[in-house]
Amino acid sequence: MTDKNKLGFETAALDDEASALVIIDQTRLPNERKILRLTTQKEIWDAIYLLQVRGAPAIGVAAAYGIYLAARGIDTTDYDVFVKKFSAARDYLNSARPTAVNLSWALSRMGKIVEAGREDGVSEIKKRLLAEARAIQAEDIEMCRKIGEHGLSLLQPGMGLLTHCNAGQLATSRYGTATAPMYLGHERGYGFRIFCDETRPLLQGARLTAYELSEAGMDVTLLCDGMAASAMRNGWVDAVFTGADRVAANGDAANKIGTFPLAIAAKRFGVPFYICAPSSTVDLHTPTGKDIKIEQRPAEEVTTMWYKERMAPEGVKVFNPAFDVTDADLITAIITEKGVLRPPFTDSLRAAAKA
């Protein structure tokens, strides 16, 4: 990497000499910047599952470096033995976050390097895996910049923009996806007014998005999730930008829980609702949002995690999905690095995939 992002550290980076994946522990933000150096597959799996590294593109980058480190640690020159151990490591990492398609996408891409290398030897395969992981990260940076340019083309100076969860620099290698238009607009003096949903129960909007955008010098207002509709009614919000963890072939989009009601409110008040995601997040093999597997998180995230004392009665049942699905008819456009895709998404997503 030629330079660090605006926060002064990489969201996910490789220390090849030390055989370590280096990340910022996002569970400690905004109060502590703790850098983790992960050297085992268990540590990397835990970091993805526990949201120490999170956001679809950043998970993809972390997975690419993680599986490279697994491959580097396989001590054999026998291709078949190498493939067996590599495949086991890949399946293990892939189980950490089933909804985030970038995880499986990056691991699949790395797997193709192994499949194509039978005649070249294990040592050469490891070199190619390293090059591929670095390429995935470089492409992520360029992809986010392009999403930012496409998104910014839809905006005017002084607009009010609302975002949910964290689809910012902390979720990518640089710029973010949903925040990319905000960063580029800020650099060019657009003077946006940014509204961040708190994003319960894990508070990614409060802890991460409000943190990184305010650090960049933007005008940021934090909202509880249930306040967004009132902000729209007040006329403060001109557009909503969110990320996505998986986009189905028909345009249904899975994103952090709370996105769906936000889209409903935007529809009610005539506010454009934009999904910003790399083309790698589009899964044409998943027909609709009903086919997206939704990860269920531990009850403790709702009942006890953020409180000194338990804030719910013992034994109460908890429904804690990590994501919800926003129906395609609520989405104004899906913005990828390839452009602004409009309905019908079944056509525009397929056309973009061929471009």
What is residue 101's predicted lDDT score, i.e. its pLDDT? Answer: 82
Question: How many C-beta atoms surround the C-beta of residue 286 within 10 A?
Answer: 19
- One domain for residues 118 and 176: no
Look up residue 231 and give its two tokens: 């902000």
Look at residue 241 and tell me if it is in a domain. Answer: yes
Residue 109 lies in a domain: yes
Confidence (pLDDT) at 1 = 32
Residues above pLDDT 70, as percent of the chain: 98
Same domain flag for 88 and 178: no
Q: What is the mean pLDDT of residues 34-51?
A: 96
176 with 272, same domain: the answer is yes
Please give the average per-residue pLDDT across 167-188, as a whole number.
94
Could you tell me if 19 and 154 lie in one domain? no
Question: Quick one: pLDDT band at residue 98, thresholds 50, 70, 90?
Answer: confident
Is 3 among the domain residues? no
| Same-domain status, 20 and 151 | no
- Does residue 309 lie within any of the structural domains? yes
Q: How far apart are CA 9 and CA 35, in angstroms?
A: 9
Name the pairing type of β-strands 193-197 and 219-223: parallel
Residue 333 and residue 191 share a domain: yes
| 7 within domain boundaries | no
Half-sphere exposure of 287 (CA within 13 A, CB side): 2
Strands 339-341 and 333-336: antiparallel
How many other β-carbons are positioned within 10 Å of the β-carbon of residue 327? 16
Residues 33 and 51 reside in one and the same domain: yes
91, 126, 144 - which closes a domain: 144
pLDDT value at 7 more than 80: no
Segment 215-229, tens digit of pLDDT: 999 999 999 999 999
For residues 292 and 247, what is the distance between their CA atoms, to the nearest angstrom? 9
Residue 280, pLDDT score: 86
The answer to whether residues 24 and 128 belong to one domain is yes
Regarding whether 316 and 187 lie in a shared domain, the answer is yes
Residue 182 covered by a domain: yes
d(CA 283, CA 274): 18
pTM, two decimal places: 0.85
CATH no. for residue 155? 3.40.50.10470
Mean pLDDT of the chain: 94
Last residue of a domain, one of 123, 144, 165: 144
On whether both 48 and 92 belong to a single domain, the answer is: yes
- What CATH number has the domain bearing residue 78? 1.20.120.420
Has residue 6 been placed in a domain? no
Burial class of residue 30 (count of CB atoms within 10 Å of its CB; 0-12, 13-18, 19+): middle
Task: Report CA 83 to chain centroid distance, whole Å.
Answer: 29
Q: Are residues 212 and 300 in the same domain?
A: yes
pLDDT exceeds cutoff 70 at 4: no
Both 171 and 250 in a single domain? yes
SS3 for the chain, per residue? CCCCCCCCCCCEEEECCCCEEEEECCCCCCCCCCEEEECCHHHHHHHHHCCCCCCHHHHHHHHHHHHHHHHHCCCCCCHHHHHHHHHHHHHHHHCCCCCCHHHHHHHHHHHHHHHCCCCCCHHHHHHHHHHHHHHHHHHHHHHHHHHHHHHHCCCCCCCEEEECCCCCHHHCCCCCCCCHHHHHHHHCCCCCEEEEECCCCCCHHHHHHHHHHHHCCCEEEEECHHHHHHHHHCCCCCEEEECCCEEECCCCEEEECCHHHHHHHHHHCCCCEEEECCHHHEECCCCCHHHCCCCECCCHHHHCCCCCCCCCCCCCCCCCECEEEECHHHCCEEEECCEEECCCHHHHHHHHHHC
Catalytic residues: 245
In a domain, residue 4? The reply is no
Average pLDDT score over residue span 8-30: 92
Of 80, 112, 144, the residue that ends a domain is 144
Domain that holds residue 265: 146-354
Residue 100: what pLDDT?
72
Number of domains in the chain: 2
Q: Are 41 and 204 in contact (CB under 8 A)?
A: no
Instruction: Please choose, from the candidates 11, 58, 13, 3, the residue with its C-alpha nearest in 3D space to the C-alpha of residue 277.
Output: 58
What are all long-range contacts of 73-82, with beta carbons under 8 Å and residues at least 24 apart? 73/19, 74/122, 76/122, 77/121, 77/122, 77/123, 78/122, 79/117, 79/118, 79/121, 79/122, 82/114, 82/122, 82/125
